[in-house]
Amino acid sequence: MTIIQANGISIRYITGDFKDIGLKEYVMRRLKGDYHVTEFWADRDITFSLEKGDMLGIIGSNGAGKSTLLKAVSGIMVPTKGHMEIHGTVAALLELGSGFDGDLTVRENTYLRGAMLGYTRKFMNEMYDSIIEFAELQDFQDRPFKQLSSGMKSRLAFSIACLVNPDILILDEVLSVGDGAFRKKSGDKMRQILSGGVTGILVSHSVDQVREMCNKILWLDHGKQVYFGNETETLCNAYEEFLITRKLPESFVEIETLSDAFIRRKEEERRKKQMNEAQKLQSILESGSSDAAVEAALSIIRKRKPELLKE
Amino acid sequence: MNKLLNRISMRQFLFSELVKRDFKQKYKRTLLGMGWSVLSPLLNLLVMSLVFTQFFGRNTPHYTIYLFCGTLVFSCYRESTNGGMNALMANARIFTKVNVPKYLFVLSKNVSSLINFGLNLCVFFLFALFDGISFGPHFLALLYPITCLVVFNLGVGMILSALFVFFRDITYLYDIFTLLLNYMSAIFYKVDAFSPMVQRIFLCNPVYCYIRYFRVVVLEGGIPSLPFHLLCAFYALLAAAAGGYIYKKYNHSFLYYV
């Protein structure tokens, strides 16, 4: 069953003089003919489709149009061109920490955030205790939100969002909150949610995370779609190679070439590392004064390659 | 059908949480904050009655109540629309991250200022009682202008909040406009002195119409005519329709401006 079908999505931002100018200034500029608005395409002609249970990883460097695309999927923006079909409820975890009110208590903020994510009061009443427990904020429930540390804030945000039970889950750089222990806990929770059959979209700058969690990849660069497909390994390899060489592939054949280059590079690195290790070991042994090194070498050879000694 | 009910209960939850937040933000959990919102219009009234009773109050019976009708309605209008104007910008960080219906922000601001209005209305009735105004069932008719005023405030609040997103200096312009409106709403003077032609022009001012409705009921012990009712409703619906139209049209454009 197709959950998300995006056909030729283009999203245009308008930038220019209109932002932060007042009515007086606007009228003056209009009269002088000095009013300029420029267009900026954050996404151009993006096409992809996700089936139920798919996990899409969106990769691309800064300014590639990833977050804008997510905003279109979550319904905050409408595509300027193209058509998007979405079947199911969407929960978007975009930039977790913002949107809380410093003067309200932790409890009030929790309910407010829950309401914004579209839960009902009944659901929140049931879930409240487990949210606080997961965020480890039992002792802070009635403190004003501004007294929390920033780590605590994002922990709370993650915990609220985590209890979502949506059909489509959007994760924008959210798997990197809190300290090490919490990061592990949140990663486990995320995997648990994803194994429950939701369709997910993940944006992450950690390619390893994408490799681990995603079965489809959408590669964007400066708003253009480089490739969409389910060849996760090849694409991730090619992307990592691209990050080093900055050469954008034009076709899938070039992607494969890039990927091969990356594998070769990795292999090379590995060999170098091994070589270095062997050299190091040898130098240690050689610098020893006694014959212990020779004896050790002999005993290793005896154990592993006895046929060498026979010769 | 089930989906729709679910959606309504979701919206209702969000709405009540927003109202709670706005209310707490406003009073900062202090009793004095709440008291101040009653005291401040009273002090305003005191100043005005000290100044204007000399000029206009001599041949007006119940002049204080006359004045109070004006300040009550006008301060409700001013507070609701000023709050409404900020509602969208103040929540910009929310609606650029989460897909929530934006009119709820204006609506919740309006509700929290309506609570304020309710408090002031109680004080108003107390004053009226002391001043020897005869109460009767016709006071129930006051629900009509209050409803109209609320709808009108909501509409104006929506228009202003949208404008505020596009043009940040609208606050200053609106301050001047409110001052002008204050003088044009016959809060401390009577319109009888003007020619019938000018008195008609006063009816173009919606806030004046609502004030007048209050005065007819409280001071004259009557209920205005049917056309006057229609006029009140017309202004309210016009403002609400304009606000709704702007929100519908620019719903997804606000994001570019914040």
Options 1.10.340.30, 3.40.50.300, 3.90.1150.10, 3.40.50.150; CATH for A2-231 is 3.40.50.300
Nearest to B7, CA basis, from B15, A218, B51, A228: B15
User: Chain A to chain B, count of Cβ pairs less than 8 Å apart?
Assistant: 83
Do A76 and B18 count as a contact with CB atoms less than 8 A apart?
no
- Which residue type is seen at A125? N
Do A99 and B170 count as a contact with CB atoms less than 8 A apart?
no
- What would the mean pLDDT of B98-121 be, rounded to a whole number? 88
B205: pLDDT confidence band, cut at 50, 70 and 90? very high
Do B17 and A111 count as a contact with CB atoms less than 8 A apart?
yes
B226: pLDDT confidence band, cut at 50, 70 and 90? very high
| Nearest CB neighbour to B13, from listed A18, A76, A115 | A115
The answer to whether A160 and A110 have CB atoms below 8 angstroms apart is yes
- How many distinct structural domains can be found in chain B? 1
- What would the mean pLDDT of A49-58 be, rounded to a whole number? 88
Q: What is the pLDDT of residues A6-38, one digit of tens each?
A: 888 898 887 766 666 778 888 888 888 877 778
Please state, in angstroms and as integers, the Cα–Cα distance from residue B111 to each residue in A61, A105, A174, B18, B68, following that order: 45, 22, 35, 10, 22
User: Between A31 and B34, where is the model more confident?
Assistant: A31
Q: Report the chain A residue with the minimal C-alpha distance to residue B26.
A: A103
Q: What is the pLDDT of residues B125-143, one digit of tens each?
A: 999 998 888 888 889 999 9
Q: Is the pLDDT of residue B240 over 90?
A: yes
Q: Is the pLDDT of residue B161 over 90?
A: yes
Cβ of B246 under 8 Å from any chain A Cβ? no
Query: In angstroms, what separates the C-alpha of A247 from chain B's closest C-alpha?
Result: 32
Do B17 and A104 count as a contact with CB atoms less than 8 A apart?
no
Tokens of B206: 């919606």
Cβ of B21 under 8 Å from any chain A Cβ? yes
Q: Is the pLDDT of residue A265 over 70?
A: yes
Specify the pLDDT at position A178: 63
Do B21 and A19 count as a contact with CB atoms less than 8 A apart?
no
* Element holding A156 (H helix, E strand): helix A150-162
Cβ of B93 under 8 Å from any chain A Cβ? yes
| Nearest CB neighbour to B10, from listed A18, A112, A118 | A118
Do B9 and A119 count as a contact with CB atoms less than 8 A apart?
no
The answer to whether A215 and A232 have CB atoms below 8 angstroms apart is yes
Interface test with B, best of A17, A95, A116 (most B CBs within 10 A): A116
Instruction: Look up the domain containing B108 and give its range.
Output: 2-257
- From CA B39, how far away is CA A59, in angstroms rounded? 59
What residue spans define the domains of chain A?
A: 2-231, 232-311
Do A112 and B17 count as a contact with CB atoms less than 8 A apart?
yes
- What would the mean pLDDT of B23-34 be, rounded to a whole number? 75
Q: Is the pLDDT of residue A91 over 80?
A: no
Cβ of B256 under 8 Å from any chain A Cβ? yes
Q: Report the chain A residue with the minimal C-alpha distance to residue B9.
A: A120
Do A116 and B9 count as a contact with CB atoms less than 8 A apart?
no
* A interface with B, Cβ–Cβ below 8 Å: 13-14, 18-26, 74-78, 90, 92, 94-95, 98-99, 101, 103-104, 108, 111-112, 114-121, 124
Nearest to B85, CA basis, from B149, B153, B20: B153
In SS3 terms, chain B reads as CHHHHHHHHHHHHHHHHHHHHHHHHHHCCCHHHHHHHHHHHHHHHHHHHHHHHHHHCCCCCCHHHHHHHHHHHHHHHHHHHHHHHHHHHHCHHHHCCCCCCCHHHHHHHHHHHHHHHHHHHHHHHHHHHHCCCCCCHHHHHHHHHHHHHHHHHHHHHHHHHHHHHHCCCHHHHHHHHHHHHHHHCCCCCCHHHCCHHHHHHHCCCHHHHHHHHHHHHHCCCCCCCHHHHHHHHHHHHHHHHHHHHHHHHHCCCHHHHC
Do B96 and A121 count as a contact with CB atoms less than 8 A apart?
no
User: Between B86 and B96, where is the model more confident?
Assistant: B86
Q: What is the pLDDT of residues B166-185, one digit of tens each?
A: 888 889 999 999 999 999 99
Do B17 and A74 count as a contact with CB atoms less than 8 A apart?
no
The ipTM (two decimal places) reads 0.77
Query: In angstroms, what separates the C-alpha of B140 from chain A's closest C-alpha?
Result: 35
Q: Report the chain A residue with the minimal C-alpha distance to residue B14.
A: A115
User: Between B118 and A88, where is the model more confident?
Assistant: B118
Specify the pLDDT at position A236: 86
Do B94 and A119 count as a contact with CB atoms less than 8 A apart?
no
Q: Which B-chain residues 154-173 have CB contacts (< 8 A) with chain A?
A: 166-170, 173
Do A23 and B170 count as a contact with CB atoms less than 8 A apart?
yes
Do A115 and B18 count as a contact with CB atoms less than 8 A apart?
yes
Cβ of B10 under 8 Å from any chain A Cβ? yes
Q: Report the chain A residue with the minimal C-alpha distance to residue B91.
A: A99
